[in-house]
Structures are given as C-alpha cells and as structure tokens.
Structure 1
Amino acid sequence: MSQTPPRIMPKPFNAPPKGLWRATPPAIFPPIMGLMGLGLAWRNAAKVIPGAPAWIGEMLLGAFSLLYLFALLTYVAKVVRRPAVMAEDLRILPGRAGLAAGADTGFLFAAALVPYSASLAKTVLVLSLMALTVVALLILRSFALGPAEQRRVTPAWHLSFVGYILAPLSAVPLGWIGLSQFIYMTTLPIALAIWLISVLQVLKADVPAPLRPLLAIHIAPLSLFGIVSVLLGYNSAAAGFGLIAITLLVIGILGTPYLIKAGFSALWGAFTFPLAAFANLMFAVASVSPGAFRLIGGLELVAATLIIVYIASKIMQIWMRGKLSKATNAATV
C-alpha cells in the first residue's frame, strides 16, 4: 500500500526575509531624535529654573543615547548586508525623513557628550556632519532620478538640508565658533526658502490628512536658529525667534484637531523633536532674557515630556512587533 507523499506548502507570497534587522525602518529615528532633544531640554531646564534637578536630564540622556546607538546598529546592519538598500529607503518620504533624522540625532548625541568627553564629542560631531552630507547627497540623487512628485518641497526638507544647524549645539561649546557661524549663515536662507515655498503650497492646496503631522517640523529649525543665536551672542535675533516660535506653537495647539485628523501613524514622530526644540529655545532665551520665556519653557517641557514619551513608546512598540517597516514601506534585504 503506497503512502501519499506529504504536501509541500508553497512559500508565502512576499514573505519577510529571515535574519536579524533585515527590515529596520528609518521611521524609528524621528521619535528618538525627539527623546534626545527632551533629555537636553531637562539638562537646560536645570540651568535656568531654580530647584530643577540636574540628574533628570543626565539620566534621560544616558538612556536615550543607548537607544539611539541600538537603533543605529540595527540600521547599519541592514545597510552592511546590501548598501543599495539605503538608496531604496530614500525613495519614499518616511525613509528620507527618517534617515535625515538619524544623522541629525548624532548632533544631539554629540551635545550630550560635551560635558563628559570633548574628544569623543568632536568625533561624533564630525561623523554626524559626514553622515548628514551623505544622506543629503543621496536625497538629491533620488530627486534627480525619481519622478517629479518626489521633488515637491515638504517640511521634512528641513531635516535633510537645514539639519546642520544642530551642529553648533556642540560645536560652540567645543570652541568651533567659525564653523558654527558658517552653518548659521548658510542654513538660514535655505530654511527661509523652505518656509516660503511651504506657505505658498498650502495656499494653493490643502495638505493631505496623513501628511499633516509633518507641518509641526517647521517649528524645529525656527527654535534651533534661536538657540544657536544665543550661543553665538545674537541675543536680539534669539528673542525674535522665541516670539515667533511661541506664536507658531499656539497656532499648532489650536490646530491640533486638523493636524491629527488621520489618526495615529509613524509620522507622529514629527511632533516629538519640534516640541523638544521649543523647550530648549525657551530655556536658551531665558538664560539671556529672564522672564516669561522661562515660565513658558517649564510648562511646555512638562507637557512635551508626556507627549514625546507617549508617541515614541507607541512607535517603538510597533517596531518591536515587526509592523513598522511594512507601515512605512521600508526597504528590506
């Protein structure tokens, strides 16, 4: 009596490849950028708010730095398997924003390291400058080779082409004043152009609901130019940036139902680092112009802590469940 051979099931269509970190999504970096900014905000709060504990900022920076290094390791492992996968990730908006945020976070990591090791902070700063330059050049290449729709200006352009303004956060304390002044003067016109084009685009057509969280990014470079203005001694400019940032934050709060209409997604990571940057701006301006800035910064920091940790934890959970790469169309190897 012959036995029926066992049935061999076909391989599932589009099955994820086996192996560790083959589909690491760049979308993990924006919320980590927000967390690192949050740690710096708590560090800076201790400098201007009497009684604010200094240990909170250092504890948060230590924990979030480890998270950043782990996320960086997982993405590098993916690129090492097939370097071309990086260019594939840059073909889509979440990939471009995520990889730029990954490089930008390196600047925040360098700033966190300054009080502990100047040499290590300088090394991280230089590596971050190189990383962001590579990402920016690859994005420009993707724009040149891809469809015209890719070249539409979005708030995420700030991360790729204005993100250098984060470098002075560590460069100025390390004594690299000339470099910081050069970055300030060259990135400000780029940011102004992105803001202007973005306004004109919004006046012509409404932003699709799923992409509206990206509008929050506009406040991040504004806050950073204010912070760097303080570091470079441009105190009048810093106060001006501070007042504009407060106005935009109020508009953003009032427009929250509009911004989150599409529901939660990985793009909510775009809310995190602008909230952290705003708090840092308030404390920076308060250091040279005490008054309402310190109070506003303290209140916003408490709210930002709750919001940033909530958004980052949700995105990290989606990543740990293996669903973030599919949700953001991340490339796999």
Structure 2
Amino acid sequence: MFKLPQKARFGEQTPPAIFPPIFGLLGIGLAWRRAEPVFQAPPAVSQLILGAVSLLFLFALGAYGLKVIRRPAVVAEDLRVLPGRAGLAAMVLSVYLMAAVLLPMSPRAAGAVLLAGLAGHAALVWLVIAALLRGPEEQRQVTPVWHLQFVGVIFVPLVAIPLGYTGLSRFIFYGAGAFALAILAISVAQIIRRDPPPPLRPLMAIHVAPFSLLGAVALMLNERLPALIFAALATAILAALLIRARYIAAAGFSPLWGAFTFPLAAYASLMLALAGAGEGEPFRFAGGVTLVAGTLMIPAIAVKVMQAWAKGGLAVKTNAARA
C-alpha cells in the first residue's frame, strides 16, 4: 500500500546555528541598557529589545530541547560539526545574558539563571573535550569557536560582581584572560601558516568578543589599566577585520555570519561602559557608532538566519543532527 511521506515534526532537526544571532540580539539589547546613562537613551528601547529577544530565545531553546528529548544523542552529533559547536556554545552563553537581563528586576532570579548557565556550560565543555579526544585529529585544531567554549565563562562576572561574588569573578577574569590570549596567539600563528577557507573566515570576528568582555569585567573590578589594554586589543582586532572586510566576507552570506553579531554587541558595550566610567569622548563616540551599526546589522543577520530556519534549509546547510 502506498504511504504518504511522514510530515516532519516540529523541532526534529532544530539547527544550533539559530543561536549565535539570538546571542547577538541579547547583546545589543544589553548594549542599549549601557547607553542609557551615556546618551540618556530611554529605558523603553532596551526593555523592548530584551523582552522580545528573550521570548525568541526561549522559543528557540524549547525547539532544541524537543529535539534533545526525542533523541539525546543529537547533542554529541551536533558537536561534530563547526556550526553545531558554535551554535551550542552560543545557546549556553545566552543563558548568562538572560541572567544579566533579569539582574535589575530580580537579583535572586538572575542568580538562579546564572547557576543554570554554569551547569549547562560545564556540561558543554565536558562534551566538547570528549568529542575532541574521540574525533579525528583535524577536529582538534584551535578555532575562534574555542573562545565561546573555553573563555565564555567570562560572562559570569557580569552578573556575579553585582551579586557580591568579587573573588570568584577575579579568578574567572585572570583564568579566562590567559585562555583568550593563548587562543588568539595560536589562531594568529595558524593564519600566518595557512589561509582559512572563505566559508570559515567570518568566525575570525569572534576574536573581538572575549577581549571586549575582559575589558568590561576589568572595569567592573576597578582594574582601569587592564580594561584599557583589553579595549585597545579589541579595537585593534576589530580594525584589522574592517580593513580586511572583503576578504572576511568573500564567500558571501552564510549562517556563520551569526559570528559577526555578538562580538559587535560586546564591543559596543565595552565602549559605552568606558564612556560611562568617564574615560573620555573617544569611547563615547566609538560606543555610539558601534551601537548604531549593531542595531542595524545584527537584526538583519538574525532575520535571514531565522528565515532559513523557517524554510527548512538551515538545518541542511549546517549539517544539523536529526532526532
């Protein structure tokens, strides 16, 4: 008897690639919160962005959760491919940003979400290390995605410091800083030896994010000189990427363009934080420019990625596992 093809179930092949642009949207919403004392921006702007994006993140998280419930092995399978590793890292780090979103409204809820993020991040790191040890040697090559997996804990102090965990935050700051510098140095050496293939070049933008976060955390720890040093390093990396923009984007639009989103938001936040701390007009100008650029660019990338997800092509393009 002839059978009709079975209709795909919702969430059956949710691609992790949906999370980097959502991560960027949360970041630009928090950047607008930083802009409130610097530019007297109305709080309604950040509240509107963060409210809408929080709902989008919860929807995406639910869709991926359905996939995992149906077949838990999909997580390990998604970690075998670079878009999956980047996407799952962005998913976990977005939980930290959700804690930052909740912080002004409910410190207790923010602390609970922060702990959930730490648990999820620890599980992700364990799975990534297991995949690296079991997988082929070429998968063990250092990539910018390592910043998200192994340095992403630098997001924790953004919430932990206001909650009073200064000692823990200082420990994370120094540890994450050492890892970030090591990953950058190895990545630069690899680029000198061999050009990355055009489709993977957008991932180079990720290098801006950890140093922007390190600068912001240093400022929160009242470490002015390290904050300015990390700001200078993040600026140098961003400038190098802008100079080589045609080289970076040579392959045209792809889901990996999500890697452009959260670094830009993180850099805008750092510049606005420095401006708010009274470090001078150049930081205010840089913060304003990157905030506007991020507000225009990040939603545009997110819309294209979400459209690809809705049409069913994103999972295929990024080799997402099926439940």
Structure 1 runs (4+) deviating above 4 angstroms are none
CA shift for structure 1 position 295: 1.1
Deviation readout 1:138-180 (Å, 9 max, x if unpaired)? 0110011110011010000000000000111111111111221
Deviates more, 1:319-328 or 1:238-247: 238-247
Matches within 5 A, 1:1-333: 8=2, 18-49=8-39, 51-288=40-277, 289-333=279-323
CA shift for structure 1 position 17: 6.7
d(CA) in 1 for partners of 2:215, 2:311: 39
d(CA) in 2 for partners of 1:19, 1:304: 34
Report the TM-score, using the length of structure 1 for normalisation.
Answer: 0.94
Deviates more, 1:172-181 or 1:94-103: 172-181
d(CA) in 1 for partners of 2:3, 2:276: 67
d(CA) in 2 for partners of 1:226, 1:306: 24
d(CA) in 1 for partners of 2:177, 2:229: 14
CA shift for structure 1 position 192: 1.1
Letter of the 2:314 counterpart: L
CA shift for structure 1 position 8: 3.3
Letter of the 2:310 counterpart: M
Report the TM-score, using the length of structure 2 for normalisation.
Answer: 0.97
Report the structure, 1 or 2, having the larger helix content: 2
d(CA) in 1 for partners of 2:304, 2:57: 16
Letter of the 1:181 counterpart: R
CA shift for structure 1 position 322: 1.2
d(CA) in 1 for partners of 2:230, 2:25: 23
d(CA) in 1 for partners of 2:215, 2:7: 45
Letter of the 1:265 counterpart: S
**Aligned-pair identity (%):** 50
d(CA) in 2 for partners of 1:180, 1:90: 28
d(CA) in 2 for partners of 1:177, 1:239: 20
d(CA) in 1 for partners of 2:232, 2:196: 26
C-alpha RMSD over aligned residues: 1.3
Letter of the 1:133 counterpart: A
d(CA) in 2 for partners of 1:54, 1:292: 24
CA shift for structure 1 position 187: 1.2
Letter of the 2:209 counterpart: A
CA shift for structure 1 position 9: 6.9
CA shift for structure 1 position 124: 0.6
Q: Which residue of 2 aligns with 1:4?
A: none
d(CA) in 1 for partners of 2:194, 2:162: 43
Q: Which residue of 2 aligns with 1:3?
A: none
Letter of the 1:76 counterpart: G
CA shift for structure 1 position 291: 2.1
Equivalent pairs, count:
322
